[in-house]
A = this chain, B = another copy of it.
Amino acid sequence: MKEYLKHHEWKIIEEGLDPHTNKVSESVFSIGNGRMGQRANFEEEYSGDTLRGSYVAGVYYPDKTRVGWWKNGYPEYFAKVLNAPSWIGIRVTVENQKLDLAKCQVEDFTRVLDMKIGLLSRSFTATFADGKKIRVASRRFCSMAHGEIGAIRYAIMPLNFSSKATLSIHVDANVVNMDSNYDEKFWEEVHREASAGRAIVTAQTKKTLFHVTTGMCYSILVDGKKIKLDRVNIEQREKFAGNVIQLNFQEGKELVVYKYAAVLSSENHPKDQLVSRCNEVLDEASSAGFSALFAAHEKVWARKWEECDITIEGDVAAQQGIRFNIFQLMQTYTGDDERLNIGPKGFTGEKYGGSTYWDTEAYCIPFYLGTAEQKVARNLLVYRYKHLPKAIENAQKLGFRDGAAFYPFVTMNGEECHNEWEITFEEIHRTSAMAYAMRDYIDYTGDEAYLTAHGLEVLIGISRFWAQRVNWSSDKNKYVILGVTGPNEYENNVNNNWYTNYLGAWTLRFTQKAIAYVKNADSKRYAEIVSKVNFQEKAETEKWKDIVAKMYYPEDPKRGVILQQDGFLDKELLRVSDLNPKDRPINQKWSWDRILRSCFIKQADVLQGLYLFEDDFDVEVIRKNFDFYEPMTVHESSLSPCVHAILASKLGYKQLAYEFYLRTARLDLDDYNNDTEEGCHITSMAGTWMSVVKGFGGMRVRNGKLYFNPFIPDQWKSYSFRIEFRGRVIMVKVSIEGAQTILESGAPLEIILNDESRMLN
């Protein structure tokens, strides 16, 4: 855990450059706009520790890396998120001395991310070896108004000298991925052009052949006036194009570079038109200018914040945390492009391949349900509906038959693209995340007709999977599910993971309800589905009922707790608090086998199950399990603390709920798990939102009604959030005095606040 960032309600602020935390800051201060984004790398050269990373949505490389290649059913490839060409480069040389913050003396360094307006700023004073001092102030944004445009204002003030200087302004496709085998490169040059004032490189990815065209143009002002550049050299080499400009620095006169970038992908344009369109976008950007571009960008952010800000009074760290989470989610996924999804690192890093995980269904859909129009969540469901044929293929590869659907653990296009067998083959609960998200969506929106249009087909496929995946144990006289990995990925290939068994059986029940609904609502469509998927209703549902009735659930009657899996009690049952802090995080300090045989839990899946199905259990059952599992949970999954925050809230563990909230909200800001340098944990940020709304706010939807059961942490004066619900916008304000619910728009609505019905008008 690192706590070096200043607390501020709207800004992330770093004061002083620390080479040891630079990569963490590069992640935290990342900016993006749903189409592209980049880590908060410096525009100028930096020879210190850095992970230079730019990313373009949807662009990946199918790495064939396999281990245990004889394992049948192995995915064809691992979809690497690719580090893409960089457009930020501005290199400064003063009398043969490079501006490099690892080599110059640096004072007054600040890096600021203003989340309210989506602007990354940085300023510092640098002293070269010969004593020359310059002051630099840069501002950068990826336009939310125009997804293909980025812009930089880079100001240099020579403080104690006048001299000749050189600027190199360029685009650069010579980039590597951090996990490439011996620095293998994934981009090849397709086209390059450079003239005075402009440069463009088109690079294509190996194998997948995505084309990305990255262009830049610029203007330079001194003392607010555009200057004429008469000594411009073209700088070109493979995958690199730019200008080198010779000019004079004058003491006390500010020189400002405005650099405009255009990033276009063949996902959005014909390949043969990329360069000409890039030129058009550059023309558009440079003629609009920095201020106008920024004004449009700022406007989009203002609207977004109006829709989904959460305010917290009395606790700046908590306020900063929730806004950071919301900010990152909004700049990762805008909901505009139905081909995209919410990558686990967004545009902040390249660890983890692929773009779509069960995180989307389990964590992000509730967020978008509460903060965006209904169609955003619906589109995310339809995205998976479109992948159903691939999910059926995926199941076939693993030996399932008759239309069983097994959704991939990680995907770019519906195909499985992750490469650990214990995850892709065995972490099977994810296929039912699709079913649970439907339930969530229908409960929230009332749009049960989704089942008719798309949902039922998916549900039948998933239920067929479960019906084939269980087996009968004559020893136990029950159905069992062997060889799985639960959400607690610190156990692999276990038998009877309770979460998995419960979710599987629940899916079979839910599908039967869906059948009944569709049959009744639209018998013609039902017949169509039956015929399309060759559904043997009687035989199949009878089997499902039998499984539901005879499913095995491991438990410890002595302690009165659910057992995470068979054999769990053979472990040494220790507490996280007994661990030597030097051993944490255990995933960085312990070998994998040691983690697997320890009792320590990455993400407590028994508790995850109790959270998802809370109404099936008495609160005292939940309490006993929480008290048993919580002390063994190391929360090294970013998806873990938010669920604990919600459960702790429910159980009245106020202080604990607050601690879990801070942990999820400030996971990256304070680098809890010592891994933020690799990128931020984007999808779990939706969990942070849930921990306020469902945790402190106690929001639930039951039988179409909105419930709130709020409390306020002792550390706070008040908090507020807005909810979109069935055409209404409801503002919830909670203070020490009590809770207010205000209907901001939409028709009157009955809600239940603290177990009492009230009409909102």
Task: Using CB atoms and an 8 Å cutoff, list the residues of chain A in contact with chain B.
Answer: 63-74, 78, 179, 181-182, 207, 397-399, 419-422, 425-426, 471-476, 480, 482-483, 492-496, 566-567, 569-573, 587-594, 596-597
Chain B: CB-nearest residue to A588? B72
Q: Which residues of the other chain, B, contact A68 by a CB distance below 8 angstroms?
A: 67, 420, 592
A68-B591 Cα distance, complex, nearest whole Å:
12
Q: Are A67 and B64 in contact (CB under 8 A)?
A: no
A472-B570 Cα distance, complex, nearest whole Å:
8
Interface of A is mostly: loop
Chain B: CB-nearest residue to A182? B64
Q: Are B590 and A72 in contact (CB under 8 A)?
A: yes
Q: Are B70 and A593 in contact (CB under 8 A)?
A: no
> Shortest beta-carbon distance, A273 to chain B, in Å?
30
Chain B: CB-nearest residue to A180? B64
> Shortest beta-carbon distance, A240 to chain B, in Å?
25
- Select which of B476, B570, B592 is within 8 A of A476 by beta carbon: B570
A698-B223 Cα distance, complex, nearest whole Å:
99
Q: Are A64 and B493 in contact (CB under 8 A)?
A: no
With A419-B67, A570-B475, A587-B70: A593-B398 Cβ-Cβ less than 8 Å? yes
The 10 closest A-B pairs by CB, nearest first: A73-B591, A425-B593, A483-B597, A475-B569, A482-B597, A398-B591, A71-B592, A67-B67, A473-B570, A493-B493
Q: Are A66 and B69 in contact (CB under 8 A)?
A: no
Chain B: CB-nearest residue to A472? B572
Q: Which residues of the other chain, B, contact A475 by a CB distance below 8 angstroms?
A: 569-570
- Can you tell how many copies of this chain the complex includes? 2
> Shortest beta-carbon distance, A674 to chain B, in Å?
12
> Shortest beta-carbon distance, A209 to chain B, in Å?
14
Q: Are B181 and A181 in contact (CB under 8 A)?
A: yes
Known: A74-B592, A398-B591. 9 other contacts (CB 8 A): A67-B419, A71-B592, A72-B587, A72-B588, A72-B591, A399-B594, A421-B593, A480-B570, A482-B571
- Select which of B64, B73, B471 is within 8 A of A181 by beta carbon: B64
Q: Are B495 and A590 in contact (CB under 8 A)?
A: no
With A72-B588, A425-B592: A493-B495 Cβ-Cβ less than 8 Å? no
Chain B: CB-nearest residue to A480? B570
A63-B569 Cα distance, complex, nearest whole Å:
39
With A181-B181, A182-B64, A471-B572: A73-B425 Cβ-Cβ less than 8 Å? no
- Select which of B64, B179, B207, B496 is within 8 A of A69 by beta carbon: B179
Give 15 pairs: A residue, B residue, CB < 8 Å, sorted on A.
Answer: A63-B181, A64-B182, A65-B67, A66-B67, A67-B419, A70-B587, A71-B592, A72-B588, A422-B492, A471-B571, A480-B570, A482-B567, A482-B571, A495-B567, A566-B566
Q: Which residues of the other chain, B, contact A399 by a CB distance below 8 angstroms?
A: 590-591, 594
Chain B: CB-nearest residue to A675? B70
Q: Are B570 and A567 in contact (CB under 8 A)?
A: no
Q: Which residues of the other chain, B, contact A64 by a CB distance below 8 angstroms?
A: 181-182
Q: Are A473 and B569 in contact (CB under 8 A)?
A: yes
Q: Are B73 and A421 in contact (CB under 8 A)?
A: no
> Shortest beta-carbon distance, A471 to chain B, in Å?
5
Q: Are A596 and B483 in contact (CB under 8 A)?
A: yes
A628-B542 Cα distance, complex, nearest whole Å:
34
A593-B399 Cα distance, complex, nearest whole Å:
10
Q: Are A592 and B473 in contact (CB under 8 A)?
A: no
> Shortest beta-carbon distance, A183 to chain B, in Å?
11
Q: Which residues of the other chain, B, contact A69 by a CB distance below 8 angstroms?
A: 179
- Select which of B78, B482, B592, B594 is within 8 A of A570 by beta carbon: B482
A587-B68 Cα distance, complex, nearest whole Å:
12
With A566-B567, A572-B472: A592-B72 Cβ-Cβ less than 8 Å? yes
